[in-house]
Homo-oligomer: A and B are copies of this chain.
Amino acid sequence: MLSIDSITIPLADDLHVHLREGDLATQITPLVRKGGVGRVMVMPNLKVPIITSEMALAYQKTLQKIDPNVEYLMSLYLTQSLTPSELILASSKGVKNVKLYPAGVTTNSSAGVVSLHQFYPLFEVMQQENMILNVHGEVQSNYEKNICILNAEQQFLPFLSDIVKNFPRLRIVLEHITTAAAVEEILRLPKNVAATITAHHLQLCVDDWAGKNHNFCKPVAKFPADTQALKKAATSGNPQFFLGSDSAPHVRATKETSCACAGVFTAPFLLPYYAKTFDSMGKLDMLKDFSSTFGAQFYAIKQQTKMITLVRQQNIIPDEIVGIVPFQAGQDIEWQIVEG
């Protein structure tokens, strides 16, 4: 096993992050850069979802004002009110991502979709415009059909496959995958279909969120063998797997309660979390491509040039940051960022 004590890589692209709005956005957005990330793709699930390019660009401007050191790629929330002309307009203004939420599965996603075929005309436009479809790949629970949060991702895979078949040139990102089944499906699909893997799903399984709400997110972490499959995929050097943190801040009181919000907050220490996993696999040399190359390639944007160095060094995660309990609070994640 290769042992390395430091590694210098370009700033990461985090191709799935929640930056929220208002005071919370002001507090957490500057933490992105501290986590080693220079460019993000921002989720549109605000309290009033981002459904027009005008809203997306206004939101982008707000974020730029908070921290101009990070580049913000914007996305639209796919709803029935989205039109082909709005898509074309968005694309012309550089808003290239559209987010598909099957209804009801995650924070503020009640406006999401139920059936998918109704969106095929929009996918056609997206394919023509060379846009990117970002998919929260879970079906809704249906007890009659034995569908619950443990198999909701696997049950979604045929829907993904159907989109790919019908839109063979559409770039699609299956986000925050959590299962060996999803890894296998991505490997089976062509190179215009990729998946993001979060830092926390590389380290958690179901035991870790049972009764432990700070580790509870959607999709939930699953069996140990699933976690192992994710680790293998992330460190494999296959460009179909790249970094998307799904970092999602929820203040402590909304976690330590009877019905917790779903989401894990990883942004402030993002690259060190990933470094720890890659290191544990003896695959630190594969981190750069996963964090800083493959995502940019898939998005067809330039790799970032600013370099940072990760060093093996004690890094005890604080108990709380701006009212939020970060992932692995109180634990030593063994890696630190040293600016170049």
The CA-CA distance from A276 to B322 in the complex, in Å, is 45
The CA-CA distance from A256 to B257 in the complex, in Å, is 4
Q: Residue-by-residue, is A108-141 near B (CB-CB < 8 Å gives 1, otherwise 0)?
A: 0000000000000000000000000000000001
Q: Which of A216-253 contact B (CB under 8 A)?
A: 216, 220, 223-225, 227-228
**A143, A216, A220, A227: most-surrounded residue (chain B CB, <10 A):** A143
Q: Which of A6-14, A45-53, A144-152, A289-297 faces chain B? A: A144-152
CB of A213 within 8 A of chain B?
yes
CB of A255 within 8 A of chain B?
yes
Chain B contacts of A257 at CB under 8 A? Answer: 256
Chain B contacts of A151 at CB under 8 A? Answer: 223
A223-B259 in contact given A211-B216, A216-B211 (Cβ < 8 Å): no
CB of A258 within 8 A of chain B?
yes
The CA-CA distance from A161 to B213 in the complex, in Å, is 36
Interface residues of A (CB under 8 A from B): 141, 143-144, 146-151, 205-207, 209-214, 216, 220, 223-225, 227-228, 255-262, 325
- A and B contact pairs by CB, cutoff 8 A, 21 listed: A143-B205, A144-B224, A146-B223, A146-B225, A147-B224, A148-B206, A148-B207, A150-B206, A151-B223, A209-B210, A211-B259, A212-B259, A212-B260, A213-B213, A213-B260, A214-B258, A255-B258, A256-B256, A256-B257, A256-B258, A258-B325
Chain B contacts of A143 at CB under 8 A? Answer: 205, 224, 227-228
A262-B224 in contact given A256-B256, A257-B256 (Cβ < 8 Å): no
The CA-CA distance from A141 to B207 in the complex, in Å, is 8
A-B contacts besides A148-B224, A149-B210, 15 pairs, CB < 8 Å: A141-B207, A141-B224, A143-B205, A148-B205, A150-B223, A210-B220, A211-B260, A211-B261, A211-B262, A212-B260, A213-B260, A255-B258, A256-B257, A256-B258, A258-B325
Chain B contacts of A220 at CB under 8 A? Answer: 210
Contact B211 A146 (CB under 8 A): no
Q: What residue in chain B is nearest A142 (Cβ atoms)?
A: B224
Chain B contacts of A150 at CB under 8 A? Answer: 150, 206, 223
Chain B contacts of A259 at CB under 8 A? Answer: 211-212
A146-B224 in contact given A256-B257, A258-B325, A325-B258 (Cβ < 8 Å): yes
What 10 A-B pairs are tightest by C-beta distance, nearest first?
A: A211-B260, A143-B224, A146-B225, A211-B216, A146-B224, A148-B207, A256-B257, A149-B207, A148-B206, A141-B207
Chain B contacts of A141 at CB under 8 A? Answer: 207, 224
The CA-CA distance from A325 to B259 in the complex, in Å, is 13
Chain B contacts of A144 at CB under 8 A? Answer: 224
The contact of A258 among B146, B148, B213, B223, by CB within 8 Å, is: B213
A211-B210 in contact given A205-B143, A256-B258 (Cβ < 8 Å): no
Closest Cβ of chain B: how far from A105's Cβ, in Å? 11
Q: What residue in chain B is nearest A252 (Cβ atoms)?
A: B258
The CA-CA distance from A203 to B147 in the complex, in Å, is 16
Closest Cβ of chain B: how far from A282's Cβ, in Å? 17
